[in-house]
Structure 1
Amino acid sequence: MSTPNTLIFVDLPSDDPAAAARFYAEVFGWQNDEKPAGVYHRMVPGGQFLNPDGSESQIGNLHLGIFDAANARPHPDSAGVEPRTLSSGGRAPRIWILIGDGDSAERILAAAEERGAVTLWRNHYWQTFNGYNHAFRDPWGNEIVLWGKAGPDPQVPADYTRE
């Protein structure tokens, strides 16, 4: 029997990977693993995925990569290839981050804004997946959506939009 194709990593482009890595380390508390510094940074959130009973599983939380848009590594051509700039305008991939039990959307959004991010929206409830959502665009144009678990009997605040 074969195994499914598995998502193992998502990379975000930046024109300054070291600065982007500092941003994510400061906003989310992740470890900045330079591979090498300024070229590629692996952001390590630490911890393990949880089992249904709340105990830690053997599966580590996913990592996020940050690469230099001017020379995206790895690539067979050591000089890299075009395009060498950040994408601008239009839709781009969104990265979803689960808000930790000891953290809050308010703290994360404030920390992101202090470091140059722009809050796109906040206070939205998505019934289909039973979660509270908020979003920001980082200083490099990447859209981050924050996800808060609503629980089995969600009490959606009156000021939240809903779908």
Structure 2
Amino acid sequence: MSEVTHGIGWFEVGTDDPAAAERFYGELFGWSFAEDPSGMPYRIISTPEGSVGGGVFPTGGQMPNYAVFCVVVDDTEQACRRAEAAGGSVLVQPQKTSTGLVFAHLRDPGGNHFGIYSPPSDQVA
């Protein structure tokens, strides 16, 4: 995986109604959707222009709906600490997926929600 650290590497649409989100974004932007081959509950988004990858995440109504960009970082836990020191807050504590990817959701001092993640160590370029 050749991702640029501190660049936007993913975007995510979290929703309690994935089918409606897919209809909306599909009709609006021409995006298409497919099952995530890794087995995660995502529907992978393909864009006509081949931009940054993304996915639709079914929240099951367990959190507010959202659309966020996700920044690639070297160390998710350390980035959370730096965000808090800079006046931000951690909304979702760092979590490790079954593939080794570690992610978290943050809020900047202005209240904007965004995500960060570090890829599995065997996928770092």
TM-score normalised by L of structure 1? 0.33
Q: Which has the higher helix share?
A: 2
TM-score normalised by L of structure 2? 0.41
